[in-house]
Copies of this chain bind each other. A is one copy, B any other.
Amino acid sequence: MAEPSLIGVDWGTSRLRLALVDGDGAVLAEHEADAGILTVPDGGFAAVLREAVRALGAPAGLPIVLSGMITSRQGWHELPYQACPAGADALARALHRVDEPDLGQLHFITGLAWTSPDGIPDVMRGEETQIMGQDDLVAGEAVVLPGTHSKWVAVEDGRIVRFRTFMTGELFAVLAAQSILGRLMTEGPEDPAAFARGVRLGLAGTGLLGQLFSARTLPLMGLLPETAVRDYLSGLLIGTEIAEVTAFERPTAVVVIGSDALARRYATALDQAGIRHRPGHRDAAYRGQWRVANAAGIIG
């Protein structure tokens, strides 16, 4: 019963993750490498993938299903975005198939685009597959995928209907690395109270541009230890993100996809906002690849 049915490949900007997936969508084995698409030289994707499949210990002849930034302009095969609403069937219809020597048949899942009512386009590559793997959503639940570019996604009847990207993680990184706020940051133990204080201010929703400076003035006035500036700024940004989202969306609950420290921060901030939440599937990407492969008739 634990027979492998496919190899799922989640190939992003900075990481390559792949797994052997059984006929029920469960992970039998996994392998990770620092072989994000930006590290792979032109023409080198097949060689990197062959090596990773070997490291995974996968038997020959399995279909390989790929998702993530690997279908972007900087990836292996650039694929056009599909329009929302889109579910597993639409993603299956849009699969791009390539026969690759020594690897067999590759199936690339493309990303999605959505344009807001005010005419602003948004895009995702990889998250659509993770959301397909989150196949236990109930009506009214939203999905958040925290990260460099955090995504909030509305799903109806198994189809992604709209989504928004928040540059929260990247903004934190550039402010910490380059701004006057970063120059104030002193290493220290985690400070949950400072994080909560930042979240509270962000949730107030009075606007990020006018609140950022507080990460400088509070320590300047002796009202926040310098060792707490990092956690305070993190909370301020995540709280602001939640305030911006909930000005438009009123989810009954939120599924947080991700199992790292950042996902735990979102869970804490959602608690503060009084919004119910639960963790998503750890292996949502592989499970989504398995669902799309099923919908496409590749397996099963």
Q: Mark A236-252, 1 if CB is under 8 A from B, else 0.
A: 01001101110110000
Q: Does A42 contact B (CB under 8 A)?
A: no
Q: Tell me whether A221 and B118 are in contact in the complex, defined as CB-CB below 8 angstroms, given that A174-B179, A209-B240 are known contacts.
A: no
Q: Tell me whether A179 and B168 are in contact in the complex, defined as CB-CB below 8 angstroms, given that A209-B240, A220-B123, A221-B121 are known contacts.
A: no
Q: Mark A7-19, 1 if CB is under 8 A from B, else 0.
A: 0000000000000
Could you say how many copies of this chain the assembly holds? 2
* In the complex, chain A residues 115-147 whose Cβ is within 8 Å of any chain B Cβ: 118, 120-123
CA distance A206 to B205 in the complex (A): 10
Which B residues touch A173, using CB under 8 A?
A: 178
Which B residues touch A208, using CB under 8 A?
A: 207-209
Which of A50-58, A159-167, A257-265 contacts the other chain? Answer: A159-167
Q: Does A175 contact B (CB under 8 A)?
A: yes
Which B residues touch A165, using CB under 8 A?
A: 210, 213, 217
Q: Tell me whether A120 and B217 are in contact in the complex, defined as CB-CB below 8 angstroms, given that A174-B178, A212-B171 are known contacts.
A: yes
Q: Does A149 contact B (CB under 8 A)?
A: yes
CB pair B211–A120 under 8 Å, yes or no, is yes
CA distance A248 to B207 in the complex (A): 11
Q: Tell me whether A179 and B167 are in contact in the complex, defined as CB-CB below 8 angstroms, given that A149-B213, A201-B118, A217-B122 are known contacts.
A: yes
Which B residues touch A29, using CB under 8 A?
A: none
Which B residues touch A121, using CB under 8 A?
A: 214, 217-218, 220-221, 223
Q: Mark A211-235, 1 if CB is under 8 A from B, else 0.
A: 1111001101101000000000000
Which B residues touch A247, using CB under 8 A?
A: 206-207
What are the 5 tightest A-B residue pairs by CB atom distance, in nearest-first order? A207-B244, A165-B213, A174-B178, A167-B212, A166-B209
Inter-chain pairs besides A123-B217, A166-B213, A171-B209, 6 sampled, C-beta below 8 Å: A120-B218, A122-B213, A164-B210, A167-B209, A170-B180, A171-B179
